Amino acid sequence: MTLTHYGFKEWGTITLIAAAIAGGFVWAAMWWPVVATVVVWLALVAFFRDPRGRRPATDAPNDMVSPADGKVSAVFDVEHHAAIGGPAKVIRIFLSVLDVHINRFPCDGVIATVTNTPGKYLDARSAESAQVNESTVTTLTTASGEHIGIRQVSGAIARRIVCAAHIGSRAKRGARFGMIKFGSTTELILPRPADVTSHVSVGDRVTGGVTIIATLGAPRSL
């Protein structure tokens, strides 16, 4: 099991504590507690797992792959979204504590903005949490000039958003750019909602960096 460097501090601390506890039980010849400690350690560090070898299911420029593992919790249009400065289609993905929490770019582009907004820490399963919880929005500019947004939203347990994206650097579809620690939400924000074909519905499971969740069509001619 490969672990992400985004959680080095956490899984390193967990490992040291587990080793100390298990060592104490070994010294006392208490073997069942040793087994229990190892099981708990595996469960905790598994949260920071980082699957390797994932490849996007498409290389078409207008196809968007999922920015996270999890379950689609909402698909909706808004008249104006601050992230892209206009109408948008939003695809929201809920990540439980059992899901991989690495976030990935949905398409190729250049990172235009990275904006963190302080907020609350409500349960990520509630609709309100997506509106008021702490969040970080990263926007990309594609080769065709489109603006694409990815919003990382904290949850009740997730108290830290990691975003390693840097303004001006290139983003590659499926590449890692951060994570949200423990249960959380990730949103994909697409322009021109009338020209977006969504390939997922509420309740669908998606795989970060792999599943095609939407296609952004060509602008409509006047």
pLDDT at 43: 83
The one catalytic residue in 184, 198, 201, 221 is: 184
pLDDT at 121: 66
Number of domains in the chain: 2
Confidence of residue 69 (pLDDT cuts 50, 70, 90): very high
Q: What is the pLDDT of residues 121-154, one digit of tens each?
A: 666 666 666 676 788 999 999 999 999 999 998 8
pLDDT at 29: 83
The CA distance from 65 to 59, in Å, is: 10
Of 5 and 167, the one with more pLDDT: 167
pLDDT at 160: 79
The CA distance from 86 to 190, in Å, is: 10
- Whether residue 204 lies inside any domain: the answer is yes
Q: What is the pLDDT of residues 10-35, one digit of tens each?
A: 888 888 988 899 888 889 888 898 88
pLDDT, mean of residues 163-171: 95
Q: Which domain holds residue 177?
A: 63-216
Quick one: 103 and 185 in the same domain? yes
Q: How far is CA 54 from the centre of its chain?
A: 15
Closest CA to 38 of 60, 57, 23: 23
pLDDT at 63: 96
Quick one: 69 and 27 in the same domain? no
- Whether residue 159 lies inside any domain: the answer is yes
Task: Output the CA–CA distances (angstroms, integers) from residue 10 to 94, 156, 193, in the order listed.
Answer: 22, 17, 39
Quick one: 11 and 101 in the same domain? no
| Amino acid (1-letter code) at residue 210 | V
Which pTM was predicted? 0.89
Quick one: 182 and 111 in the same domain? yes
Strand order in the sheet with 212-216: 63-65, 212-216, 196-198
Average pLDDT, the chain: 88
Q: What is the pLDDT of residues 173-215, one digit of tens each?
A: 999 999 988 768 999 999 999 999 999 999 999 999 999 999 9
For residues 122 and 128, is the Cβ–Cβ distance under 8 A?
Answer: yes
- Whether residue 80 lies inside any domain: the answer is yes
Confidence of residue 89 (pLDDT cuts 50, 70, 90): very high
Quick one: 95 and 190 in the same domain? yes
Quick one: 30 and 115 in the same domain? no
pLDDT, mean of residues 166-174: 96
Closest CA to 181 of 155, 206, 207: 155
The CA distance from 153 to 135, in Å, is: 4
Quick one: 25 and 126 in the same domain? no
- Whether residue 222 lies inside any domain: the answer is no
For residues 171 and 114, is the Cβ–Cβ distance under 8 A?
Answer: no
Q: 34-48, 57-71, 143-157 — which one is most confidently predicted on average?
A: 57-71
Mark whether 154 is an active-site residue.
no
